[in-house]
């Protein structure tokens, strides 16, 4: 059965059977990775993050294998464009794990910023990729909302941590500009995650195995980051007005 269309597909081919087995293995690893992250949402565990990273990388490898070794599938879910997109989704989620690990290990702000920026870039690429095939390959529309939400969230995070690094180096005006950019991205992420929460679970397929708490968890993460950005932007503006009087660059430049 095609994962996305629900259509029953038959082909008397060992290669088709092999591709289906590999696809199901990839999905199993992806779901385990997602569950590990969800299970640690309230009490994040470093070992679980390492395991989730490994799961997502294995899933990506399996999808990549299908894309390079099974050229003419009869089902939509095994099409090269579909599995290539899924490969990129898995790699983006693995990058998220690397970022979470850096935060848990209390890496420097500039390091966390770079990892967040990489996650944002990866989700930006995934968004373009999935958008181009969402209709033709029957992908759930909710995916686009989730991917764009994560892209905006990590853009906000990247600017936030870079602003903190600038502040520590007495670049007060630049820090304010970055906090302001972070706030813009965070507002957009808040709007998108609200739309995602309202619409995603009305999708007719691929919802029964998802974890509802993961949606609330994402909303909580965005809300927490938004609050932190607002507090630090307010403090930075106050200190700059009273003490430093450092010029603030235009955020559009």
Cα(41)–Cα(214) distance, integer angstroms: 8
Average pLDDT estimate for 55-77: 87
Q: Residue 245 — φ and ψ, nearest 5°?
A: 50, 40
Instruction: Please give the torsion angle defined by the CA atoms of residues 197, 95, 185 and 179, in that order, rounded to the nearest 10 degrees.
Output: 140
Judge whether residue 246 has pLDDT over 90. Answer: yes
Q: How confident is residue 237, by pLDDT bands cut at 50, 70 and 90?
A: very high
Give me the half-sphere count of Cα atoms (radius 13 Å) on the Cβ side of residue 133.
Answer: 16
Out of 39-43, 47-51, 193-197, the most confident range is 47-51
pLDDT over 60 (residue 232):
yes
pLDDT in tens, 98-145: 999 999 999 999 999 999 999 999 999 999 999 988 777 777 778 899
pLDDT tens column, 143-159? 899 999 999 999 999 99
Does pLDDT of 206 surpass 60?
no
The model's pLDDT over 19-28, given as tens digits with 9 standing for 90+, comes to 889 999 999 9
Measured distance CA(26)–CA(87) in Å, rounded: 9
d(CA 139, CA 144): 9
Maximum alpha-carbon separation in the chain: 76
For 19-37, b where at least 16 C-beta lie within 10 A, e where not — what string? bbebbebbbebbebbbbbb
207 pLDDT exceeds 50?
A: no
Residue 3 has pLDDT above 80, yes or no: no
Region label for 11, one of left (φ > 0), alpha (ψ between -120 and 50) or beta (otherwise): beta
First to last CA, the chain: 50
3-state secondary structure the chain: CCCCCCCCCCCCCHHHHHHHHHHHHHHHHHHHHHHHHHHCCCCCCHHHHHHHHHHHHHHHHHHHHHHHHCCCCCCHHHCHHHHHHHHHHHHHHHHHHHHHHHHHCCCCHHHHHHHHHHHHHHHHHHHHHHHHHCCCCCCCCHHHHHHHHHHHHHHHHHHHHHHHHHHHCCCHHHHHHHHHHHHHHHHHHHHHHHHHHHHHHHCCCCCCCCCHHHHHHHHHHHHHHHHHHHHHHHHHHHHHHHHHCCCCCCCCC
């Amino acid at each position: 059965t095609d994962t996305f269309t629900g259509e029953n597909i038959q082909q008397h081919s060992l290669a088709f059977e092999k591709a289906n087995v590999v696809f199901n293995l990839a999905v199993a690893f992806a779901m385990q990775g997602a569950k590990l992250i969800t299970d640690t949402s309230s009490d994040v565990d470093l070992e679980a993050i390492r395991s989730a990273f490994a799961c997502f990388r294995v899933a990506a490898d399996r999808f990549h294998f299908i894309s390079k070794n099974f050229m003419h599938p009869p089902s939509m879910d095994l099409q090269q464009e579909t599995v290539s997109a899924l490969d990129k989704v898995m790699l983006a989620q693995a990058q998220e794990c690397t970022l979470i690990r850096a935060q848990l290990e209390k890496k420097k702000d500039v390091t966390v910023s770079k990892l967040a920026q990489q996650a944002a870039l990866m989700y930006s690429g995934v968004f373009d990729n999935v958008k181009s095939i969402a209709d033709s390959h029957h992908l759930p529309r909710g995916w686009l909302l989730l991917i764009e939400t994560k892209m905006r969230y990590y853009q906000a995070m990247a600017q936030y941590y870079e602003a903190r690094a600038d502040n520590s180096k007495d670049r007060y005006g630049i820090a304010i500009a970055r906090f302001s950019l972070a706030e813009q991205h965070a507002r957009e992420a808040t709007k998108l995650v609200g739309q995602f929460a309202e619409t995603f679970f009305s999708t007719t397929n691929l919802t029964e195995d998802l974890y509802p708490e993961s949606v609330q968890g994402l909303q909580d993460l965005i809300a927490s980051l938004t609050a932190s950005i607002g507090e630090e932007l307010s403090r930075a503006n106050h200190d700059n007005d009273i003490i430093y009087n450092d010029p603030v660059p235009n955020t559009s430049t």
